[in-house]
Amino acid sequence: MPSRRDFLKQAALSGAAAMLGSLPQAEASGDAPLALPAGRTLEYWIQADSLPWILAPNGRDSMTGAAYDAAQSSFVTVGYRAYSENWAALLPPDPGIGENSGIPGPILRARVGDTIVIHFKNNDVRPKPAAHSIHLEGLVREMENDGFWRSSEPNLPGTAVYPGETYTYRYTAPASAAGAWLYSDFSASRRMKGRGFDIRIYRDVPVYTRAKPQEPSELDAPVGAQFGLFGMAIIDDENTKPADRENVVIFHDLYSDDLPMLVQDFDCINGRSFLGNTPTFQARTGERVRWRIGSVGRENHVFHIHGHRWRMNGAFTDTHLLAPGTTATFDYLEDSPGEWLYHCHFTEHIMGGMAGLYVVS
Ligand SMILES: [Cu+2]
């Protein structure tokens, strides 16, 4: 029996219109048929880079006035960055891929019907590097493109890409993929010592194994994602209205329990902590402003913007609850000039740095 990929390939070759008549309807996820007219093939060259990272580059929290010197808010992390073909040159910041500084990883964009090919290279050169992978939600893939490592089959291709190695992942975007999706490291570097797991060395790379199997463990968040190996994919379709601004926001936390090099916990937006350090977004009245928000880690967050409301799930609101691994998209016509706060509404999180500025002129 031909695989789904073979089927899509065949559909692309022989013309989607001819194939659609014989398609099983409402297959797999959602109501939309999986096969679509063949779109583009978009290639991304992505590297997991180890990087020095400063959570509060301005050295202070402009909400509370607290000071954070570089030693207090720096660590060596790992983030995804986009490169030109064959990982030849780091791509500059661009509205398409975003800042491309590492946290979050580059925005991956496609339209329904497109194929996304990710050429991934692990360039983790820390003294104790780890295997990494890419696990991208939302799109159609064969199992060998899922990037999900498990100890029962530790050598499945693409699930633990070791330092210096490469792997190519391939996905297609069915109609049900329209929207925003998260991607993250789901490799062998799972879980941390001290939470019921021990470290063993596998092919010179530390691997985390369960020490006391009978002990209830917390959610197995991938440790690479805890460091900053995550990003967002945005898939448009014919219903996606053009927007004048598109603000990508990922809420996440860094815990000193997990990352002992940190002097304290940090509540972060896109890899930065505290007002004045987190992204400042701009807009003008009359513009259509779109927010693509998501959350990674172990905490729930409540996204909120001062002075604004938007329609979501049939009702107007000014907050949105994000559980780990979820995203949301909403937009509005901007009509409220001012220097507004956007933030997580959990008290501990806003005080821990999860707040930013939204400036409307
Ligand atoms: Cu929060």
User: 6 C-alpha vs ligand 1 centroid, how far in Å?
Assistant: 43
Three-class DSSP category at 8: helix
Options 3.40.630.10, 2.30.30.240, 3.30.450.90, 2.60.40.420; CATH for 41-360 is 2.60.40.420
Place of tokens 């463990």: 217
Amino acid of residue 97: I
Please give the Cα distance from 316 to 308 (Å, whole number): 10
Average pLDDT, rounded, for the chain? 84
Per-residue pLDDT, averaged over 70-91, amounts to 94
Tell me: pLDDT of 3 over 50. no
Amino acid of residue 14: S
Is the separation of the CB atoms in 301 and 344 below 8 Å? Answer: yes
The predicted structure's pLDDT at residue 256: 82
The predicted structure's pLDDT at residue 6: 42
User: 250 C-alpha vs ligand 1 centroid, how far in Å?
Assistant: 11
User: 303 C-alpha vs ligand 1 centroid, how far in Å?
Assistant: 8
The predicted structure's pLDDT at residue 35: 52
Q: Which residues does 158 contact at the CB level (< 8 Å), separation at least 6?
A: 133, 144, 145, 146, 147, 167, 169
User: 180 C-alpha vs ligand 1 centroid, how far in Å?
Assistant: 19
User: 343 C-alpha vs ligand 1 centroid, how far in Å?
Assistant: 8
The predicted structure's pLDDT at residue 126: 85
Report pLDDT digits (tens) over 144-193. Answer: 999 998 878 878 899 989 889 999 999 999 999 999 999 999 986 544 33
User: 308 C-alpha vs ligand 1 centroid, how far in Å?
Assistant: 19
Query: What's the order of all strands across the beta sheet hosting 288-295?
Result: 266-269, 245-254, 288-295, 327-333
**β 41-54/115-123 pair status:** parallel
User: 352 C-alpha vs ligand 1 centroid, how far in Å?
Assistant: 9
Q: Is the dihedral of CA 144, 149, 150, 155 positive or negative?
A: positive
User: 149 C-alpha vs ligand 1 centroid, how far in Å?
Assistant: 28
What are the structure tokens assigned to 346, written together? 């959990």
What are the residue boundaries of the structural domains of the chain, listed by start? 41-360
User: 241 C-alpha vs ligand 1 centroid, how far in Å?
Assistant: 29
**β 166-172/108-111 pair status:** unpaired
The predicted structure's pLDDT at residue 333: 97
User: 38 C-alpha vs ligand 1 centroid, how far in Å?
Assistant: 40
Report pLDDT digits (tens) over 90-113. Answer: 999 999 999 999 999 999 999 999
Angstrom distances, CA of residue 296 to CA of 87, 249, 293, 299, 355: 26, 11, 11, 8, 16
* CA gyration radius, the chain: 21
Beta-bridge partners for 320: 303
Per-residue pLDDT, averaged over 239-249, amounts to 96
Per-residue pLDDT, averaged over 30-42, amounts to 66
Tell me: pLDDT of 345 over 60. yes
Report pLDDT digits (tens) over 272-282. Answer: 999 999 999 99
Report pLDDT digits (tens) over 107-158. Answer: 999 999 999 999 999 999 988 788 899 999 999 999 899 999 887 887 889 9
Beta-bridge partners for 232: 182
User: 297 C-alpha vs ligand 1 centroid, how far in Å?
Assistant: 11
User: 349 C-alpha vs ligand 1 centroid, how far in Å?
Assistant: 5
Which one is predicted more confidently, 67 or 200? 67
User: 130 C-alpha vs ligand 1 centroid, how far in Å?
Assistant: 28
Smallest CA-to-CA distance from 207 within 223, 227, 229, 218 is with 223
User: 295 C-alpha vs ligand 1 centroid, how far in Å?
Assistant: 9
